[in-house]
Amino acid sequence: MSRRRTAVLISGRGSNLAALLGASRERSYPAEIALVIANEPAAAGLAHAAAAGVAGAVIDHRPFGRDRAAHEGAMIAALGAAGIELVCLAGYMRRLSPRMVAHFAGRMLNIHPSLLPAFPGLNTHARALAAGVKLHGCTVHLVTEALDDGPIVAQAAVPVLPGDTAATLGARVLAQEHLLYPLALALLARGAPGMVAEGVAAAGTAALQNPLPLPGALP
């Protein structure tokens, strides 16, 4: 079976990258992580790539100043040179231009720590607590021009428990992210190329089963 050559873009810690690297270690997994690109030279996640023997590149946005197109042009060139078909954004903290989004339309995923369309943007766990929701979670979606938007490929839900802080809730969500992202990438890899909005349904969608009993469940 030919595996889809996949790149992961990161800016920091890279725990989702580590989960994807772990999944792709399995020969039967339909995607191969072939390249990791960080826009931050100090991104801790680069160590995961090195440990896995996967090529890691730093393409710092700062030398490009305000020229976003030039920075993305350098990334597109690196991705093309590595024969990359699919891209996973995993804690990549820069907005992408329409050009970059169009280049990878239907081939680029993002993971977001909320049950979209609720809580796009930052500080999702604190906002979920402030809103008083009883279920929270994470979403993997295809990347479109709008922030934290685009067709949903997979979601996982967790309960919000009494006494939760943004940190405890975030940790519960993150554990699900690490299961969900490999699942969603596998769905895309099996459906790609050409997995566009309508194609999501054809390729299958997924929801991880809630791993925790809901508190105060009615008898």
Question: Could you confirm whether 112 is annotated as catalytic?
Answer: yes
Please report the sign of the dihedral spanned by the C-alpha atoms of residue 184, residue 129, residue 13, residue 106: positive
Contact residue for ligand GRF among 6, 16, 39, 176 (CB under 6 A): 16
Return d(Cα 144, Cα 79) in angstroms, integer.
19
Residue 177: CB atoms within 10 A of its CB come to 23
Q: Is 3 in the site for ligand GRF (CB under 6 A)?
A: no
Which two three-digit tokens encode residue 160?
């919000």
Q: How far is the CB of 100 from ligand GRF (least distance, A)?
A: 17
Which residues share a beta bridge with 7?
35, 87
CB-wise, 168 or 199, nearer to ligand GRF? Answer: 168
Residue nearest to ligand GRF (CB): 91
CB-wise, 13 or 68, nearer to ligand GRF? Answer: 13
Stretch in the footprint of ligand GRF (CB under 6 A) among 9-17, 28-36, 77-85, 128-136: 9-17
Residues in the interface with ligand GRF (CB under 6 A) total: 15
Return d(Cα 57, Cα 49) in angstroms, integer.
10
Return d(Cα 93, Cα 71) in angstroms, integer.
14
Q: Is 91 in the site for ligand GRF (CB under 6 A)?
A: yes
Residue 10: CB atoms within 10 A of its CB come to 27
Catalytic residue among 48, 61, 71, 112: 112
Site for ligand GRF in 148-187 (CB under 6 A): 174, 177
CB 177 within 8 A of CB 124: no
Q: Is 137 in the site for ligand GRF (CB under 6 A)?
A: no
Contact residue for ligand GRF among 5, 13, 68, 127 (CB under 6 A): 13
DSSP of 105-123, one letter per residue?
TTTEEEEESS-TTSS-SS-
Give the residues lining the site for ligand GRF (CB under 6 A): 10, 12-16, 45, 90-91, 111-113, 138, 174, 177
Q: Which residues are catalytic?
A: 112
